Structure 1
Amino acid sequence: MTSIDTTADARGAILDEAHIGDIHGALGTIRRDDVGARDGWRARLMTLLAILGPGLIVMVGDNDAGAFGTYTQAGQNYGTTLLWTLPLLIPVLYVNQEMVLRLGAVTGVGHARLILERFGKFWGAFSVIDLFLLNALTIVTEFIGISLALEYLGLPREIGIVAAAALIVGAASTGSFQRFERFALMLVFGSFLLIPVLLWSHPPVAQIAHDLATPAFPAGAKLGDVMLLVIAIVGTTVAPWQLFFQQSYVIDKRVTPRFMRYARVDLWLGIVIVIVGAVAMMSFAAAAFAGRPEFGTFQDAAAVAAGLEKHAGRIAGVCFAVALLDACVIGASAVSLSTAYAIGDVLSLNHSLHRKPSEAKAFYVVYVGLIFLAAILVLTPGTPLGLLTNAVQTLAGVLLPSATVFLLLLCNDRAVLGPWINGRWVNLFTSIVVAALVLLSVVLTAAVLFPDLGDGAILGILGGGSALAVVAALAFVISRRRSGAEEAVDRSLQASWRMPALDTLPPARLTPATRFWMAVLRAYLVLAGGLVLIRIIHLAISG
């Protein structure tokens, strides 16, 4: 690989020289030597348009096939009762994705590579392997969604799946980052089809407003079933691949710290769109099936489209199916890209959409291979597609806490982020989120391993785990204060500070408490992940 200048102001630790240069966004360009102040609303607007993309794509990409199934299942089975879960996820989404946004813009190095360099080979290999397996399964669910949309629309399934795979591969293989981003933003705008579907379904607006603000469980429902659905909502809204994708995509787009404010606006716009879409799906599914025999008996997204057709007309069903198709294409593109970025980053290979396939062979082999493997599996008769879908939700729930733990540790690493490290309140909030994710992961693992787990056992796990969660979160913050890790930070250098080359960084500073909890996390992931995989294999064999 060609030697790269690694001065902090120009290149930092960037591993692929294609990540350095002009920003060629879908809606505008910013030259590398354009360092002038953005004075006036027009200059700021043009800059924002050029930066738009990473936040929109990662958020809308998360409203994929799994999200369509989870949100409409919540609406069909329980009405709008679970809408309150969505506002609670807004700060989680922002804090998580803002941290990877900072890591990408400041370091120029992908998430998996930073984990490898700062926490060792075990965690580096674990992060890449679990990402690869989980993403491969997730892409299969995207093609299941494409299949369901085609089925409802009356289009030939085989031809449609092959065409979708070719479109996804072709959009990313032109050697032009700008062309891919324009394709992705077209799909982002396609997600707005959910809005007219909501309006045509005439949902109960007052009830929606009440349920958004009032936490409650559906009357008469089994606690275990509701909790598993709540965990699915969390898992489909806050997914591990998002962390890896946005960090690498920000790097590939060549966004630097001086554009952080604009990138945060981009992220907020994406969050608004994803939450509005989630509220819309839960609400129009509730309206379409309320008082009907199908209420409480969710099947799949194609059945939801059929229900919308009966309730709100054929055009509503068609728009929902097209929106599902659109969501699956952007989801498959983003999830596959996150994997290709991570592998390229860890192995120091060329890994950029600015490069043609001939210039980054391994990067494109991973991207294309995942897409066509998923398409082939969905087209192969006898593939246990329902089991694969359940496996995605379960494994995502088990693995998500580890991704968030390392995100928190990296954002408190002064050698990595310098003046961009987390503040005290972000650390406290994120520690509580990590503890909550671990708790939900334990509930999910227990429910998978013991299907007959009673409500009392679930309440016991939630009660005991919540107390431990608060203690663990406070212990993390207190330990950092006592170790001097939260000493004053001079943030005046933020605009120009970049992480130096990786081989010049001092070793990561880990307190004894942090090392202990990392060992506990490792043991839990090995045990829980192994048991869940055994359970899934057993179900596949017995089925």
Structure 2
Amino acid sequence: MSDYDLDDRSVLVESSKPRILEILGPGLVTGASDDDPSGIATYSQAGAQFGYAASWTLIFTYPLMVAIQMISARIGRTTGRGLAGSMAKCYPGWVGVAVTVPLLIANIINLGADLGAMGDAAHLLINGYALLYVAAFGIICILLQVFLKYKRYVAVLKWLSLALLSYIATLFVVHVDWSSFARGLVLPTFKMDPSYWSMIVAIFGTTISPYLFFWQASQEAEDLKEKSREEALIEHPQEAKKANTRITLDTLIGMAASNVVALAIITTTAATLNKAGTTNIESSVDAAKAIEPLAGQFAKIIFATGIIGTGLLAVPVLAGSAAYAVGEAARWKVGLSREPSEAKAFYTTIGLATVVGLLLNFTPISPMKALFWSAVINGVVAVPVMVILMLIASNPKVMKQFVVKGVLKKFGWASCLAMLAAVIGMAVTAFL
């Protein structure tokens, strides 16, 4: 055994066969929240406009997002701190400000757009006033985070991840050209079309996004507070084998769920909207409306229901990841496992971020234009955040003997290069 394996062999044997419900946690919730209503809109537009041609990006991005999310999780589990907390330990304060302020702005815009999509989806299903639903969903998301006990809150998030199944269900009510699907999935398509490359960049920005790094790292650290028998690996290295095995499986499954659902959305809209010549989809709700006359009311209902379910999952993650990042950078007491009276600034940030995002829906600001600028901010911020993340993960002063190395490290840096290429592509296509 290595120097950090468990001495108790019976515990090691037991840990080698972890139960699935114990494995799935931060990785599953992070992956599921990646398919938020804004992401659904991106994937719907990709399928409607380009058919199956953009499907290959979900195969290409899978190992990259697994690597960067796994490294984020290891930082949290190893140090007992979130990503912003580790940044604060390693770098001057201005670095934290330069990273967390744009992240906060982008997350607020994103959760505002998600709340708007949820309100529109509720209106589509049961009529009524969309803005009233927007306000109701925003309040529900705040109350869940502030007043629900952490263990129950995590359980709620896990159950909400089942909403993703609605998009897989739509595949059973549409006619898919499986030969075209297979070609689009395994053979990368290169078009001399600026709008196509803008869409590829948008898919990259949707699947690999900074708030996901902060959330998964923080949740790994948060879980340590709830599990009295577990400690940060730098203090209890004997827990490493079990912890890293769980993180690997959790992240592989969570990111697979994210990309399979994204693929289902692209496939559904390619098989219906693109085939019918409906190529201009500006929101996830537009996709749900357009699908109905082509695939029936059932397809519309499950598509719209999925928007609400994934929104209820993603909005708290967006607000929570921003609060963790800001709070750790400012050295506040942070954590959803804390009582509101213990972490007033942290919970206030969650509430304010959600309320401001909610209020954006009552302004003349175009949600699609806001999302465009959110994507730009996320793209610009993602590259330096990923580089800092990799430097922290490779720093023995922070990670001790658990520095990231080997294949995982190579894929981590490959993710940085891929995201840099996506940002350059975004800049180039903006001027074409």
- Taking structure 1 as the reference length, the TM-score comes to 0.72
Paired residue for 2:140?
167
Paired residue for 2:75?
103
Q: 1:437 to 1:185 in 2, by over 3 A?
A: same
- Say which is worse superposed, 90-99 or 133-142, in terms of deviation: 133-142
After the TM superposition, which residues 375-454 of structure 1 pair with which residues of structure 2 at under 5 Å, given as runs?
375-378=358-361, 380-448=362-430, 450=431, 453=432
Q: Output the amino acid matched with 1:240.
A: P
The correspondence for 2:98, drawn from 126, 142, 150, is 126
Q: Offset of 1:297 from its aligned partner?
A: 2.3
Q: 1:52 to 1:35 in 2, by over 3 A?
A: farther
SS at structure 1 position matched to 2:185: helix
Q: 1:431 to 1:260 in 2, by over 3 A?
A: closer
Paired residue for 1:148?
120
* Greater RCO (CA < 8 Å, at least 6 residues apart): 2
The correspondence for 1:229, drawn from 187, 199, 205, is 199
| Contact 1:175-1:357 at 8 Å conserved across structures | no
After the TM superposition, which residues 46-195 of structure 1 pair with which residues of structure 2 at under 5 Å, given as runs?
46=19, 48-153=20-125, 154-174=127-147, 176-195=149-168
Higher helix share: 2
Q: Output the amino acid matched with 1:274.
A: S
Q: Distance in 2 between matches of 1:40 and 1:106?
A: 21
The correspondence for 1:202, drawn from 175, 179, 188, is 175
SS at structure 2 position matched to 1:275: helix
1:158-213, Cα deviation, whole Å (9 max, x unpaired): 22112211211121122511111111011101111111111111212222122111
Q: Distance in 2 between matches of 1:129 and 1:78?
A: 35
Over aligned residues, Cα RMSD in angstroms? Answer: 2.1
SS at structure 2 position matched to 1:358: coil
Q: Distance in 2 between matches of 1:55 and 1:329?
A: 17
Q: Distance in 2 between matches of 1:104 and 1:331?
A: 20
1:263-296, Cα deviation, whole Å (9 max, x unpaired): 22111111121111011000000111244242x2
Q: Distance in 2 between matches of 1:398 and 1:411?
A: 21
Q: Distance in 1 between matches of 2:58 and 2:284?
A: 20
Q: 1:423 to 1:216 in 2, by over 3 A?
A: same
| Contact 1:245-1:338 at 8 Å conserved across structures | yes
| Contact 1:84-1:214 at 8 Å conserved across structures | yes
Q: 1:291 to 1:50 in 2, by over 3 A?
A: closer
Q: Output the amino acid matched with 2:150.
A: F
| Contact 1:231-1:440 at 8 Å conserved across structures | yes
| Contact 2:121-2:304 at 8 Å conserved across structures | yes
Matched positions, count: 411
Paired residue for 1:250?
220
Q: Output the amino acid matched with 1:253.
A: D
- Say which is worse superposed, 435-444 or 396-405, in terms of deviation: 435-444
| Contact 2:204-2:422 at 8 Å conserved across structures | no
| Gap regions ≥5 residues in structure 2 | 225-229, 234-238
Q: Offset of 1:373 from its aligned partner?
A: 1.2
Q: Output the amino acid matched with 1:214.
A: L
Q: Output the amino acid matched with 1:81.
A: A
| Contact 1:136-1:374 at 8 Å conserved across structures | yes
Q: Distance in 2 between matches of 1:383 and 1:302?
A: 18
Q: Distance in 2 between matches of 1:234 and 1:73?
A: 14
SS at structure 2 position matched to 1:173: helix
Q: Output the amino acid matched with 1:117.
A: K
| Contact 1:54-1:246 at 8 Å conserved across structures | yes
Q: Output the amino acid matched with 1:393.
A: A
Counterpart check, 1:299 vs 2:313: no
| Contact 1:175-1:355 at 8 Å conserved across structures | no
Q: Distance in 2 between matches of 1:303 and 1:362?
A: 38
Q: Distance in 2 between matches of 1:39 and 1:114?
A: 32
Q: Output the amino acid matched with 2:135.
A: V
SS at structure 1 position matched to 2:13: coil
Q: Distance in 2 between matches of 1:90 and 1:38?
A: 30
| Contact 1:113-1:124 at 8 Å conserved across structures | no
Counterpart check, 1:329 vs 2:282: no
SS at structure 2 position matched to 1:37: helix
Q: Offset of 1:119 from its aligned partner?
A: 2.5
SS at structure 2 position matched to 1:138: helix
Q: Distance in 2 between matches of 1:226 and 1:49?
A: 40
